[in-house]
Amino acid sequence: MKWIEVSVRVMPSRVEAAGDLLLRHCPAGVAEITEGRRRVLRAYLPSSASGRRSAAALARALAPLASHAGTRVVTDAGWARAWGEGARPVHLGRLTVQPRGSPYRPGRGRVVVRLDPGMAFGSGEHPTTQLCLRAVERYVRPGITVVDLGTGSGILTIAAARLGAARVLAIDNDPVAVQVARANVRANRVADRVTVRRGEGLYGVRISAGLMLANLTADILPSVLRDAVRCLAPGGRLVACGFGSPRVSEVRTRLRAAGLSVVGTERLRGWCAVHAVAGGAPRAGRDRTRARGARAGRPHVRGSRADRAARQRGRGGR
């Protein structure tokens, strides 16, 4: 299948503004790589008449934010091959994300997620995906039920299942992402514990989740938050990710207004994850902020390196 790639080169301070604009038109996600001091964002639209019009309009709208904005036609095979040739295993705690075709041989005790993101967001390289993977490793215990909102390639879902989750519900509104996630779930042999479905959120879903992963933009999060809270078990945790430091206060406020206790915030290269707990949370009212790569007591500085990621469904990069 052919796609129209919209690419834009921006300074780090304009990544979130440009990314939000891309995600409004390309909900399946945005890829981000670093080129010197600048960031390159890429998003994809179907190669159709309407897709070409949207791509051209996007390039014009992005021009004031960027030193370069353009479009080109790519194919599934070409994109996937390029990613596979350049990707390396990503190691986070006990977890290793192993790209398709990688010669890496995991050591004893490693929990491996074998991945082919295709045209879906989530290769393990983007800061938001890494923040969520750290949450998965921290919170998943044998027998837990997990919900993955905006699953993309299925990377977080598979990690949760491989770490012992009894049930994982993965949801994405992009049919391509759903197809890719299902294929990756089968390849990792966790299909007996995982359900991947297409949808906009959790409306009508009945589930009691001990952990909910919402790797979504700050603009998309409010539309799913009410049902997300309803689907959390007492004491269940929600990890909201997919936004930069300027939106953290807003996200915290929305989570508290929804009845959750915010218990911590983590930062990685300018991206953030806010951790919250449903009813009966320990340390309710205390908000602990951790900055990866920064010393305790010193301000966290946005890093200059943001790894490449496959397309995102409202995530900042799964």
Q: Report which residue type is found at 168.
A: V
Residue 304 has pLDDT above 70, yes or no: no
Of residues 306 and 211, the one with the higher pLDDT is 211
Is residue 294 within 8 A of residue 261, CB to CB? The reply is no
Residue 210: Cβ within 10 Å count: 22
Range in 111-115, 156-160, 247-251 with the lowest mean pLDDT: 111-115
Percent of the chain with pLDDT over 90: 41
From CA 189, how far away is CA 32, in angstroms rounded? 29
Predicted local distance difference test score (pLDDT) of residue 26: 72
The SS3 assignment for 171 reads strand
Of residues 176 and 230, the one with the higher pLDDT is 230
Give the dihedral of Cα atoms 157, 158, 161, 163; nearest 10 deg.
Answer: -110
Q: How confident is the model at residue 147 (pLDDT cuts 50, 70, 90)?
A: very high
Is residue 232 within 8 A of residue 169, CB to CB? The reply is no
Per-residue pLDDT of 183-192, as tens digits, reads 999 999 999 9
Kindly give the pairing relationship between strand 38-46 and strand 2-10: antiparallel
215 forms beta bridges with 241
Domains 2-82 and 118-291 in one fold: no
Residue 135 has pLDDT above 90, yes or no: yes
Predicted local distance difference test score (pLDDT) of residue 290: 52
Half-sphere exposure for 275 (CA within 13 Å, toward CB): 26
Residue 120 has pLDDT above 80, yes or no: no
Is residue 3 within 8 A of residue 119, CB to CB? The reply is yes
CATH 3.40.50.150 fits 118-291, yes or no: yes
Of residues 294 and 1, the one with the higher pLDDT is 1
The SS3 assignment for 29 reads coil
Mean pLDDT, range 206-217, rounded to an integer: 95
Predicted local distance difference test score (pLDDT) of residue 271: 86
Range in 9-13, 151-155, 202-206, 303-307 with the lowest mean pLDDT: 303-307
Of residues 197 and 33, the one with the higher pLDDT is 197
Of residues 122 and 240, the one with the higher pLDDT is 240
Is residue 268 within 8 A of residue 293, CB to CB? The reply is yes
Mean pLDDT, range 222-232, rounded to an integer: 96
From CA 194, how far away is CA 146, in angstroms rounded? 9
Tokens of 216: 């979504």
Is residue 163 within 8 A of residue 155, CB to CB? The reply is no
Residue 109 has pLDDT above 60, yes or no: yes
Q: How far apart are the first and last CA of the chain?
A: 22
Is residue 292 within 8 A of residue 5, CB to CB? The reply is no
111 forms beta bridges with 95
Phi, psi of 23 (to 5 degrees): -70, -25
Residue 108: Cβ within 10 Å count: 4
Q: Could you tell me the residue ranges of all domains in the chain?
A: 2-82, 118-291
CATH 3.90.1150.10 fits 2-82, yes or no: no
Of residues 58 and 2, the one with the higher pLDDT is 58
Q: How confident is the model at residue 84 (pLDDT cuts 50, 70, 90)?
A: low
Among 3-7, 256-260, 296-300, the range with the most confident prediction by mean pLDDT is: 256-260
Phi, psi of 203 (to 5 degrees): -60, 125
Residue 315 has pLDDT above 50, yes or no: no
